[in-house]
Amino acid sequence: MADEPDNLVLTYLRRMDAKLDRVIDDVHDLKVRMTGVEEGLAGVNRRLDRLEVRVDRIERRLDLADQPH
| Helices (H), ranges, 1-69 | 3-61
Q: pTM of the entire structure?
A: 0.66
Q: How far apart are CA 43 and CA 12, in angstroms?
A: 47
pLDDT at 66: 77
Residue 42: HSE in the Cβ half-sphere, 13 Å Cα cutoff:
6
Question: How far is Cα 15 from Cα 19, in angstroms, rounded to an integer?
Answer: 6
Instruction: Tell me what pLDDT residue 6 has.
Output: 75
CB 65 within 8 A of CB 59: yes
What local confidence, expressed as pLDDT, does residue 28 receive?
Answer: 98
> Strand, helix or coil at 57?
helix
The tens place of each residue's pLDDT in the chain, 69 residues long, gives 455 667 999 999 999 999 999 999 999 999 999 999 999 999 999 999 999 999 999 999 999 977 665
pLDDT at 57: 95
